[in-house]
Amino acid sequence: MKATGIGILGPGAIGACHARAIRAAGGRIVAVAGPKPEENAEFAAEHDIPRSYTDTSALLADDDVNAVVVAAPSPVHAELTVAALRAGRDVLCEIPAGVSLAEAELVARTAEETGRFAAMGHTLRFWAPHLEVRARVERGELRLRHIVARSLQLRQSNMGWTGRARDWTDSVLWHHGAHLVDAALWLLDAPEVSVHGRCGPPWPGSGSPMDVAAVLITPAGDLATLSLSYHSREPVSDYILIAEDQTLHIRDGRLYGPDGVIVDSPGVAATQDAAIEAQDADFLAAVAEGRTPRCTVADVLPAMRVLDALETAS
């Protein structure tokens, strides 16, 4: 595992999370690339990375780079992932795979054509509360009838989650929508659903929709009701998991049941950090062992089809 040389494309906040997670998993980061030399140098110094590049192709030509983490802005995820795959590198791409279904499908097709791995950073699949619910579903102990999930936050200004200004605009549909939809489909164990809902109108401040409402219906008639907003002044991120005999609730990084806490945590940040570490460790192990990572772009295409349907309906 330590022999795998990792290159990071994108020296931003989420790139730093991956750098820490890769180190924690015993990985070796050999290069970083981004368009701004000063940011590259600062990132390389902070994370003890020997080389930095302003050109992605130069990083991909580095013989010490065996695999790549794409942590750049969402609009270039697909472009960078495809370039890395075609350069013969396995990739862990941050969510989303692309900002359209066509982009995600191109990534999946390129991974298949090149025979390389395209792992996806759908980190909720590695959250301890979600893993416990999924395990109960797989064991037949939990028959979910309805998931009610919310991702509400205030992003009217072009700021990232660290409070730092960005030079690109986020998408409530393709970014946080990808998290919410994929988690719902995964927990319901339903890759195919009918989609009812729409995005709100484009907001003048961003030019993009800031709200999404959706109801997903499985072939068995089970439901997921999903709400997203970048206008909400009350931040909310939770999943209410309704079965005929019980109701569970994921919030604050914990899983709650009728008798109290089922999966505990020091909080959301700790749960997220642990999930990123598990996700990145799985990617490193998959590359070293030559096996498929636990979450690939092919696995998340059902969610991308839902997002495409919601965008088209608008």
Query: Would you list the domain boundaries of the chain?
Result: 5-122+275-294, 124-268+301-313
pTM for the whole thing? 0.94
Pairing of strands 231-243, 144-154: antiparallel
314 vs 279, more confident: 279
Tell me: pLDDT of 310 over 70.
Answer: yes
300 vs 162, more confident: 300
Pairing of strands 223-229, 144-154: parallel
Average pLDDT for 202-221: 95
Average pLDDT for 194-205: 96
pLDDT of residue 2: 44
Class of the 5-122+275-294 domain? Answer: alpha beta
Name the fold adopted by 124-268+301-313.
Answer: Dihydrodipicolinate Reductase; domain 2 (3.30.360)
Ordered strands of the 5-9 beta sheet:
51-53, 28-33, 5-9, 67-70, 90-94, 118-121
Mean pLDDT for all residues in the chain = 95
Number of helical H runs and strand E runs in the chain: 9, 14
Phi, psi dihedral angles at 111 (to 5 degrees): -60, -45
pLDDT of residue 169: 78
